[in-house]
Amino acid sequence: MRRKKGSTLVTVVVLFAVVFTVGTAVLSMTVVDYKSRITESKRIEHLYGADSGIDTAYNIAGSVIKLAITQGNSAAESHFDSGTNSINSILDSEISKMRNNQTCAYPRTGAPTKSRLINDDYTANDDGIKSLLNDYFKPVYKSFIEQYLLNCIREKKTIANLNAVNDTDKYSFVHFNTDIEPRFDESDFYGVDSSNQRVAIGGSPVRYKLNLVSVYQDNNGNEARKVSAVYYIDIPNYSGTYGKKSVTLPMNGVIKKAIAADGDLIIDSVNTANVSGDVFIKGSDNTGSGSIAYTKYSGGIAVNNSVNVNFYNGKVVTSRTFRLLNNANNVNVTDDNLYASNIYVGKDENGSAYDSHLNVTKAAIIDNDLAMNATSSYAHLNGGLYAISDIRRTDYAKAGAKEKSSSSIIMNSTDDSSEIIVNGKAYIMGTAYINTSEAYQTGESVAVKGNYNAYATMIPQDGADYLFKYYNPLTLIDKKDITVFDKAAHFYNYATNSKYNGSLNITKKISLPTNNNSTISVGAFISNGIVYKSNYTDDSSFQSDLLSKQYEFAQQVYEMGNVPTTDTVTLSKDYNNGAVVKNVSNQINLPQNNSNVDYTDISNDSSNNCIIINTNPNKRIFIKGKNYSFKETPVTTGSNPDIVIDRQNNQNMSSVIISAGDVYLSGNISYTGTIITKGNVKIQGRASGENISITQNSDIVNKICTKYYSKLKSILNISDVNSQIASNTLVVSDSVQNAVNLNDIIHKGLWKIER
């Protein structure tokens, strides 16, 4: 029994020993596992802390890069402002250099007189502009990130207010999700070249390399963890947007002219005057008294006592007369046609005229006379003469006497010192009138002074129905229903009758093209000392060409170029009526004497741009260049002083002038833009050394009109005209928001656990 009890005890002891051993082992394993889990947890905690620093540092870098881009964009966009270094001033300068074949500041490769900023049509080149903007953007961007990026990462802060004076307001410190913040003091930042080699700060890197090192260690001094990452940061291009400042401008006949005036253009006593671009001069109506032989030539464009006057790069148009008075030495119309009612080289009724010379390179299209009444003078029309007022038509409703609407060539100089030469073609659709109390129409399309004697004599070829009639102070042939062709035949028969040799002046000082019917004339005509019969024809080709010239004349003179030649109904009506339809007064809305509309702005920067709006017809505008000499004295005192622009020190002026009154220019002055007036334009001097130029430039006009559009929109009749978009002026666009995508700029490289 005792033996059994001892055996049971041993069994119990053994069982407890086994249980204890197993329990101890399990407990030991549990403790080891717990300690292992704690250690791993700490390791992960440290690693998370280190890696979370990498993400934070990336975000800090991103914030600095965004701000660097903003600063770079602002620096580039500041160059859109006015001033000598503005982009638009640079473009203006480059355009000027290209036009004048000068070396550009931004030349194309292999073409120093061509700018990489400007296209061949003188518009802005987008690629060139972007390159220029990058030149402004990139230095600011690079300087900014070199100054701030690494410092912000190491000090764990972002820029809150760049313009703040103290650091407390300037920076905002980053908050971490861990109790202990990582350190970035081992990080580095530098530029690299295309081979990824280090470039010194301030050098010319192609991009930047950021070596981020994040270190984390708890307060107990446990082992620190370190994670590193490499990032490459690009140098982006200017990311703002720009465009051409666009407003809808009326591009009607007025705004496209170098000069548009309802009055006269008078060029008096200047050494040199150059007008480049279209010229429209309505001309003052004939309201004077005196002989019709002189008053019919009043108004329009007049050149007097001047050495060199040149019209080029545009049409010259007047509904009155293109006149060379006394001593208009060298007057040239080149590059385009001359349109006028008359061309007159000669004196006023009570004056004299000599040494006046006219050269017209292209066609001269007139509705009345080409007249010479000066000594030692000439008119050379090398592109042809189209004197288009066809007296055979019966549907004219033109105002005024018949002698004002019958085209002819008149030579009133009798000393053989002056000449008229026409090359190309000549259409002469009318005949001259004798200055009698009741106007007497001759049969001569080319008339020479004194040859009216032919109509004072009957000849055998005249029929029995011919008679004499008194036209004070002359007795001249006539008959019932006599026609121009009857008189033309009479003149030809008289001139070729040997009995009357020497009684007429068959001058050799008039030369017309006579080969292959190059001259077609209603009346008899003289050329190179020979009298020719009327050769007017109903040939359809000729009649079609004549009609097209009449439409062309109506388009330019009566419609200011604003009606297409295809609108033959309108142009036929215009030509038959013979009255100006479109002029300055009805093409602009310029109220009279309205101080709210009056405006003068003269720039003081290198652009020389200005605008003058004057609603007072009694207020004159005087532009004074160096060595100016006005024949009238400006009013500078009182309640209604004239507007005086002094350009003696800077003779360049880019302007749009819209005025109800007269505009005067004198001295050395280079005017670019347009002059629009309801009054006269007077270019004056002392005929010694002055050089006055007026140049129409669409780019300049568009820029000025764009800048001052709010002032002009009530003046220009927009609804009645074709419009186009202006201009070449570049501006910052605020219509597109360009968000910065950091993934396009920051590129991640190697990431690794250091320990």
For 25-40, what is each residue's pLDDT tens digit?
666 665 555 555 545 5
**More confident call, 671 vs 718:** 671
pLDDT digits (tens, 9 = 90+) for 394-424: 555 554 555 556 899 999 987 899 999 999 9
As a whole-number percent, the residues of the chain with pLDDT over 70 amount to: 85
* pLDDT for 32: 52
Nearest CA to 229 out of 240, 215, 214 is that of 214
pLDDT digits (tens, 9 = 90+) for 645-695: 999 888 889 999 999 999 999 999 999 999 999 999 999 998 788 899 999
> Three-state SS for 368?
coil
The pLDDT confidence band at residue 280, using thresholds 50, 70 and 90, is: very high
Separation CA 330–CA 324 (nearest Å):
10
Check if the beta carbon of residue 321 is closer than 8 Å to that of residue 343.
yes
Separation CA 721–CA 329 (nearest Å):
40
Nearest CA to 247 out of 716, 693, 597 is that of 716
Check if the beta carbon of residue 369 is closer than 8 Å to that of residue 389.
no
Model confidence at 735: pLDDT above 70: no
For the chain, the domains span 40-241+746-753, 248-282+583-722, 315-536
CA distances from 475 to 218, 434, 438, 468, 484 (A): 132, 12, 12, 6, 18
* pLDDT for 734: 45
Q: What is the average per-residue pLDDT within 433-440?
A: 89
What is the pTM (predicted TM-score) of this model?
A: 0.69
Q: What is the average per-residue pLDDT within 213-233?
A: 79
* Beta-sheet pairing, 378-381 with 419-422: parallel
Separation CA 423–CA 436 (nearest Å):
33
Separation CA 169–CA 392 (nearest Å):
92
426 backbone dihedrals φ, ψ, rounded to 5°: -140, 120
Separation CA 250–CA 714 (nearest Å):
11
Q: How many CB atoms sit inside 10 A of residue 542's CB?
A: 14
Which amino acid type is present at position 415?
A: D
The pLDDT confidence band at residue 604, using thresholds 50, 70 and 90, is: very low
Separation CA 279–CA 258 (nearest Å):
6
Q: What tokens does 708 get?
A: 């001052």
Nearest CA to 699 out of 94, 149, 224 is that of 94
127 backbone dihedrals φ, ψ, rounded to 5°: -65, -40
Q: What is the average per-residue pLDDT within 486-506?
A: 95
Q: How many CB atoms sit inside 10 A of residue 702's CB?
A: 23
The pLDDT confidence band at residue 736, using thresholds 50, 70 and 90, is: very low
Q: What tokens does 52 get?
A: 């979370």
pLDDT digits (tens, 9 = 90+) for 304-314: 999 999 999 99
Q: Is 453 exposed, middle or buried (0-12, 13-18, 19+ CB in 10 A)?
A: middle
The pLDDT confidence band at residue 225, using thresholds 50, 70 and 90, is: confident
> Going along 571-618, which residue ranges are E strands?
599-602, 609-614
Check if the beta carbon of residue 745 is closer than 8 Å to that of residue 231.
no
* pLDDT for 56: 86
Q: What is the average per-residue pLDDT within 236-243?
A: 75
Model confidence at 216: pLDDT above 80: no
* pLDDT for 179: 66
The position carrying tokens 């300037």 is: 170
Separation CA 471–CA 452 (nearest Å):
12
CA distances from 395 to 53, 73, 730 (A): 96, 68, 54
Q: What is the average per-residue pLDDT within 703-727?
A: 64
**More confident call, 636 vs 662:** 662
Nearest CA to 189 out of 138, 236, 230, 227 is that of 230
Q: What is the average per-residue pLDDT within 694-701?
A: 89
